[in-house]
Amino acid sequence: MGAKKWDFLRDLGHVETIFDCKFKPDDPNLLATASFDGTIKVWDINTLTAVYTSPGNEGVIYSLSWAPGGLNCIAGATSRKGAFIWDVHKGKIVQRFNEHGKNGIFCIAWSHKDSRIIATCSGDGFCIIRTIDGKVLHRYKHPASVFGCDWSQNNKDMIATGCEDKNVRIYYVATNSDQPLKVFSGHTAKVFHVKWSPLQEGILCSGSDDGSVRIWDYTQDVCINILNGHSAPVRGLVWNTEIPYLLISGSWDYTIKVWDTREGTCLDTVCDHGADVYGLTCHPSRPFTMASCSRDSTVRLWSLTPLITPLQINILAGRSWAEIIGNTDYAIEQGSPPLLCGKVSRNIKQEIEKLSGNPQAKKLRWFSECLSPPGGSDNLWNLVAVIKGQDDSLLPQNYCKGIMHLKHLIKFKTSEAQELTTVKMSKFGGGIGAPSKEERLKEAAEIHLRLGQVQRYCELMVELGEWDKALSIAPGVSVKYWKNLMQRRADQLIQEDKDDVIPYCIAIGDVRKLVNFFTSRGQLKEALLVAQAANEGNMQTLHVSATKGASNSGDVYKEDFNELLHKVSNELAEWYFQDGKAVLAACCHLAVDNVKLAMASLIRGNELELAVCVGNVLGESAAPATHYALELLAKKCMMIPICFPSVGYRNLAADLLLMIPDSELHLVKLCAFYPGCVEEINDLHKKCKLPMVEECLQLAEAAHADGNVFETVKYYLLSQEPEKALPIGIDFVKEYISNSNWTLDTIYPVLDLLSYIRTEKLIMNACTEARNELLILCGYIGALLAIRRHYQSIVPALYEYTSQLLKRRVVSVPLSLEHLSEELDAWRVCTQLSNQSEDSPCTPPSDSQRTVYATLLKRLKEEPLTGIIGPDYVTGSNLPSHSDIHISCFTGLKIQGPVYFLEDGKSAISLNDALMWAKVNPFSPLGTGVRLNPF
């Protein structure tokens, strides 16, 4: 969960505690927040901006509730000014409720069943049910303050409350009685929030100041589980809307915990908020995206998909519906694998079953959109559809608001400019609150300018009275037009305006200068638009020949701007990628049909499931990267902690690898690593179409007799005596390294294969020396691979790891501490030289260092998958964290973004470093022989 932290909303944000947050039911791209500062803000979670803010001056706002349906209203609960209804679009308060007097209202809840009914609970000891016009239907009296209330989603006339007297009460509003149907006792301090399960009839939870969360069964009048783990009062509570046993809680101990309510176990804890966690909410159409809010005045969005990895892979592997979607009764049985049980997944299944032919592409897209967080996945799939030839008329209305395919960019922007210009035809403009006529004309003019439509720009500038701008670029149309404009200017008066470099660049056709201008200011989208306009021939480049008597026909020429266009697109993609937005980076590459780099962005951002989905739909052009993503996903399955029978993960890994053509070697690694009994291993061999264990031993001995090292290692690893592969493979690698002309590609296949030996065999005392040599060789070769893939941040750590093992272990390998130090120093100096800036010159390398580095590069050769070169940046890499400061054991510096803990539970590295390390060296940096699995 921490690894998939999505984004951090602060722009124009609250300056005080945020007590509540809720997604809009019919438009989940909008998220409302209620704050101590007396305002409710509505955020667009895709642009990370506050699009609406309530009038304010309400005192403290403790709670909010969206109106059901498309009413576009929010109910708010305040500390001293009662409750109110805010019409978001009109921007005003349309109703107030004062039945609680000056007492604080701690919770407000709009009825799911009837949009005319709202419940509030208060410090006066009452839970009041009323209509929106103020008619009181029920006044449920409690012996003390009432802090929370929640309407049941299954029995919509039922409401639960949490009270200071430590009890939970259930009321049935369809009767005239003001007495509770049930009272649940058990908490040892006040009960705050209560939440009904959306999937389990009669199940609800309550959070208390005693630090516990209790699960109650209304139908059996019993507490069925107590979730202990928080060290302070519990506030936020939310059930997942697809996995019936998944519950999330937030506390004053600054943490968010994810629970499996079947067994009462805590699946994950995150500590990124810097203060009490108050509100939690689940995205209506993306059930595994949730938001949290806190006293630290931030809202954070999270993805829970890492907790349901088997489900994602079942979908990718084309498993049956029974392994993806199930009923609640089966899903809540202890030991059952995670199954989707909610409305979103059922709707997807129904829509897929209506389709004829092969619906796999639609299935991958719809489930990907369901499981992925917001922030570009819709945009990505729209671009995939464009590349696959989908008709433009089928693109959604919001397509033009994201990153568009470049064949649409000019068309949509021209349309936008025309739409802005049509305000001239309206006497009254766009209505109250709409941009003025002048503002719309200016915006239209700027778009026409970037499209190279210079004369239209001039005419709009004249209409606005900005003659200087119009005159300055009129020669870009013609000298005749410029003279005509000068004559018209004599009859007009305008105000003085500042010079603007943009019109001049457009007029003289210096597109490169304009693109560089935008790029230097960080306006990469503007640069892209100009480059595409030039590429489509919308801009003429003026060229004055230096040769006297040159033909005037050469004064105007068209330049090939395609290279410039791709350069700008790559820069924009890299900006998104380094900002931890790999999906948007992929969108930039797809917009210029660069499938290879789009797939590489997803893989380097650890969006493996999304990469496989997109790659399968794109087909052959994405095949190499898709196969690599499948390989990494299979590795994830092979080494994942066991939370349901390992046979399930084993088969998932095999199914993923079988999707790769010529996957025998990958399947060999899976079978070599699998730690089952002989019967289970033989079953896996049969599934993977490999010889039985007994036969593998014979094949190994035959290959050994023939002198075929690779085949010998392979079949020994598949046999009952895999430890025999170690000395043979290691001796082969050591022998090659002893020679001066060895290359990485010669020894890596054998070493990589050896690294899949079963853990229980590797840690045997009899294998101690071989194990130590394997760890050292994997560390050294991993360092070389990291250099080849430009994983700069982990290269020193890999050399240090290798050196420390070499110092402390009794081994006989053709490596020395001096040699490792020389190589590392040479790499550092030579790479710093190529990356140095004028502001920070560095010492040039010596001749010997140049020689060492040249030898190193000669050994490395080129990376086969060129697109994956470069460091990994996962989602959330640049997000600030308020949790305990974690220091990287690689760098000694504070880790920013997601943290990965090593097997001792204390040592930490960044998730980005962990991913890169695992891709070049499977063994832990602690030298224990344990495998890393950060995927």
φ, ψ for residue 595 (rounded to 5)?
Answer: -65, -40
Structure tokens at 368: 């990907």
Structure tokens at 534: 């030039």
Q: DSSP string spanning 43-78?
A: EETTTTEEEEE-----S-EEEEEEPSTT--EEEEEE
Q: Above 70 in pLDDT, residue 431?
A: no
Average pLDDT, the chain: 85
Q: Which of 614, 622, 656 is nearest to 309 (CA)?
A: 656
Residue 199's pLDDT is what? 94
Q: Above 80 in pLDDT, residue 837?
A: no
Rounded CA-CA distance 248/228 in Å is 13
The single-letter DSSP state of residue 477 is T
Rounded CA-CA distance 302/834 in Å is 39
Structure tokens at 190: 């006040």
Average pLDDT over residues 535-559: 49
3 state SS of 705 = helix
User: Would you place residue 507 in the very low, low, confident or very high pLDDT band (cuts 50, 70, 90)?
Assistant: low
| Count of helices and strands (H, E) across the chain | 31, 32
Between 640 and 913, residue with greater pLDDT: 913
Q: Report CA Rg, the chain.
A: 32
**Element housing 557 (H / E):** strand 556-557
Structure tokens at 889: 């054991």
Q: At a CB cut-off of 8 Å and minimum separation 6, what does 204 contact? A: 150, 152, 160, 168, 194, 195, 196, 197, 215, 216, 218
Give CA angle at 662 (656, 663), nearest 5°: 35
User: Would you place residue 882 in the very low, low, confident or very high pLDDT band (cuts 50, 70, 90)?
Assistant: low
Structure tokens at 27: 């438009």
- Contact 923/908 with Cβ under 8 angstroms? no
- Contact 107/148 with Cβ under 8 angstroms? yes
3 state SS of 573 = helix
**Element housing 567 (H / E):** helix 562-578
Rounded CA-CA distance 333/353 in Å is 27
Report pLDDT digits (tens) over 260-305.
999 899 999 988 888 899 999 999 999 999 999 999 888 899 999 8
Structure tokens at 757: 């030996």
Rounded CA-CA distance 787/856 in Å is 9
One-letter amino acid identity for 532?
Answer: Q
Rounded CA-CA distance 276/263 in Å is 26
Distances (CA, A) of 378 to 43, 123, 314, 327: 18, 44, 22, 28
Residue 307's pLDDT is what? 87
Report pLDDT digits (tens) over 335-378.
888 899 999 999 999 999 998 877 888 899 999 989 988 878 88
Q: Above 60 in pLDDT, residue 491?
A: no
Between 422 and 496, residue with greater pLDDT: 422
Q: Is 261 exposed, middle or buried (0-12, 13-18, 19+ CB in 10 A)?
A: buried
Q: Is 222 exposed, middle or buried (0-12, 13-18, 19+ CB in 10 A)?
A: exposed
| Residue ranges in 674-708 assigned as alpha helix (H) | 678-687, 693-706
Phi-psi region of 897 (alpha: psi -120 to 50; beta: other; left: phi over 0): left
Between 58 and 499, residue with greater pLDDT: 58
Between 586 and 541, residue with greater pLDDT: 586
Q: Above 80 in pLDDT, residue 511?
A: no
Strand extents, DSSP E, 717-841: none
**81-90, 440-449, 637-646, 754-763: the lowest-pLDDT one:** 637-646
User: Would you place residue 602 in the very low, low, confident or very high pLDDT band (cuts 50, 70, 90)?
Assistant: very high
One-letter amino acid identity for 432?
Answer: I
Q: Above 70 in pLDDT, residue 727?
A: yes
**606-620, 652-666, 821-835: the lowest-pLDDT one:** 821-835
- Contact 272/2 with Cβ under 8 angstroms? yes
Rounded CA-CA distance 921/21 in Å is 43
Rounded CA-CA distance 714/699 in Å is 9
Rounded CA-CA distance 157/111 in Å is 9
Rounded CA-CA distance 549/545 in Å is 9
Distances (CA, A) of 590 to 240, 391, 490, 703: 33, 17, 50, 47
Q: Which of 264, 195, 191, 200 is nearest to 233 (CA)?
A: 191
Phi-psi region of 802 (alpha: psi -120 to 50; beta: other; left: phi over 0): alpha
Between 725-738 and 768-788, two packed helices, what is the crossing angle to 10 degrees?
50
Residue 547's pLDDT is what? 40
User: Would you place residue 731 in the very low, low, confident or very high pLDDT band (cuts 50, 70, 90)?
Assistant: very high
Structure tokens at 308: 């349901």
User: Would you place residue 429 in the very low, low, confident or very high pLDDT band (cuts 50, 70, 90)?
Assistant: very low
Rounded CA-CA distance 690/701 in Å is 17
Q: Above 50 in pLDDT, residue 144?
A: yes
- Contact 14/41 with Cβ under 8 angstroms? yes
Residue 664's pLDDT is what? 92
Q: Which of 914, 918, 912 is nearest to 931 (CA)?
A: 918
Residue 401's pLDDT is what? 82
Give CA angle at 829 (824, 835), nearest 5°: 120
One-letter amino acid identity for 152?
Answer: S
Structure tokens at 330: 């089966």
Q: Above 70 in pLDDT, residue 514?
A: yes
Residue 884's pLDDT is what? 63
SS3 letters across 442-462: HHHHHHHHHCCCHHHHHHHHH
Between 360-371 and 309-316, two packed helices, what is the crossing angle to 10 degrees?
160
Residue 551's pLDDT is what? 41
Structure tokens at 343: 């409305």
Q: Which of 237, 230, 241 is nearest to 194 (CA)?
A: 237
Residue 149's pLDDT is what? 96
Residue 509's pLDDT is what? 64
Report pLDDT digits (tens) over 32-62.
999 988 899 999 888 778 899 998 778 899 9
